[in-house]
Chains A and B, each alone.
Chain A
Amino acid sequence: MALQSLDIKRRSATTLPSPSVRESHTGDVAKLIDTSKCIGCKACQTACMEWNDLRDEVGTNVGVYDNPADLTADSWTLMRFTEYENPKGDLEWLIRKDGCMHCEDPGCLKACPSPGAIVQYANGIVDFHEEACIGCGYCITGCPFNIPRISQKDHKAYKCTLCSDRVSVGLEPACVKTCPTGAILFGTKDAMKDQAAERIEDLKSRGFENAGLYDPAGVGGTHVMYVLHHADKPSLYHGLPDNPRISPMVTLWKGIAKPLGVAAMALTALAGFFHYIKTGPNETTEDDEAAARRYDASRKGNGPDGQKGVATHEEV
């Protein structure tokens, strides 16, 4: 069930407004991840496991620091390591904490066919309610960041909740609380933008002239933002999308196609109904039966033998 202390802004597969009298007057929330401060210790992964009672299967080393190798239904956040050789020939170790970006315009929510399985709270957090999840995986199809995972145990979709249960009672997310370098911060989105602006100024003064904030407009901004040293090339950071947006194919499928498709199907049926009302049924008359018999008789007269199965009543 939706958390009672957080009102709902958007709800999957729902055409009417959700309960939304209580607004987030203090502003949307956001998590700010400063990649320039991250040391790749994975304490955030551990905190996430502990708070959410998740224990992923112990995997195998695939030759890089990423561990586990990918997000799973039991690993909602993951440090992704990239070794980048900059134009000066120096090695930069770019580390990015991957996980749900909590888009303001969430592709998962748009694609989800099950009412209320995905909600967006008034504070901007996008949350999956697994008890309503039907396991179709449309959220994966809709997500521009490749985040949701279907559990093989219960065939429900899982991802980072931004610790909505903690935030609803005034706590910061577990990863934020545990981060030893202060690379992960949490607050109102405005406060996080201000914080980022200071960090970016600092980074620029240290020679990272392309430092900037990753808050992609293509998805309406995100409630998880990055400070990047190379904000001009987000894809350096283990394929972070440069210009993420909900795919036009998803927009077509879950946007205009839905009302138009339903209307066209209803109109097809209505067209049939009114055609019947206007033109009436097409009935076979006695004349048609008589004409068929006359034809049979003529064939019978001219043909070599009486054909099997051709009954002519004139003979009866």
Chain B
Amino acid sequence: MSNERSDRQADKDDLIERYSAGQRINHWIVAGTFILLALSGLALFHPSMFWLATLFGGGSWTRILHPFVGLVMFVTFVCLALRLARYNRFESRDTEWMKKIGDVLNNREENLPEVGRYNAGQKLLFYVMVLCMIGLLLSGIVIWRAYFAFYFPVGVIRLASDVHAVCAFVLICGIITHIYAAIWIKGSVRAMTRGTVTRGWAWKHHRAWYKQLNK
């Protein structure tokens, strides 16, 4: 059996699909636009990061491009969220998972309840992202000076500026966590690059999902 393990064909058979090509393309459009938006947004958020505006052709181009890229991110995010929403319903085992966050952080999977396609942390991030994206879209339209800001009283624009900054802050921290988790949990990145994960990975991290697949 151990000889078979080294066989390439066997390795291929050990893989199961986690994301379709469409989902992966969708994810990377959202991810790419997020990076552009985070860099251009941070350029306008704090003077220490204004130099990032150079990446976009200067301050004025940053101001012009950011909201349009934001629209692309929102639309593609909605597509992705709709594809994945049904896997993100909270279940009773998610509460237990949350309570055992210490075991999660210390790589003690053996103490955790069986996890479905997504764990409670991933589900939480999903809802946080949905809320932030809605907040960013609505507040972003209000402060979009070239086309919309003049429709709103200044008090609303001020509030929207705060909402935009807070949502962006939460989203950026959430995505930092999301990226870190992918680096930390080995074998995760390939789910989004090649679409597949190993059976062992699925067994270890998403056992309920794995069992459901092989019912």
Contact = CB atoms under 8 A, between A and B. Distances in A.
A253 B165 contact: yes
A261 B13 contact: no
A58 interface: no
A141 interface: yes
B185 interface: yes
Interface in B168-186: 169, 172-173, 176-177, 180, 183-186
Contacts of B47: 13-15, 113, 115
A249 B200 contact: no
A289 B176 contact: no
A257 B201 contact: no
Contacts of A282: 107, 109, 184-186
A117 to B, nearest CB: 8
Interface residues on B, range: 35 or more
A264 interface: yes
A283 B201 CA distance: 8
A3 interface: no
A136 interface: yes
Interface string B179-215: 0100111110000000000111111110000110011
B159 A288 contact: no
B82 interface: no
B161 A285 contact: no
A230 interface: no
A249 B161 contact: yes
B165 A257 contact: yes
B169 A292 contact: no
A258 B46 contact: yes
B203 A134 contact: no
A284 B214 contact: no
B162 interface: yes
A136 B201 contact: no
A75 to B, nearest CB: 17
Interface of B: 1, 4-5, 10, 13-14, 16, 43-50, 53, 58-60, 62-63, 105-107, 109, 143, 145-146, 149, 154-155, 157-159, 161-162, 165-166, 169, 172-173, 176-177, 180, 183-187, 198-205, 210-211, 214-215
A-B pairs, top 5 by smallest CB distance, nearest first, are A311-B13, A289-B200, A137-B145, A134-B59, A272-B180
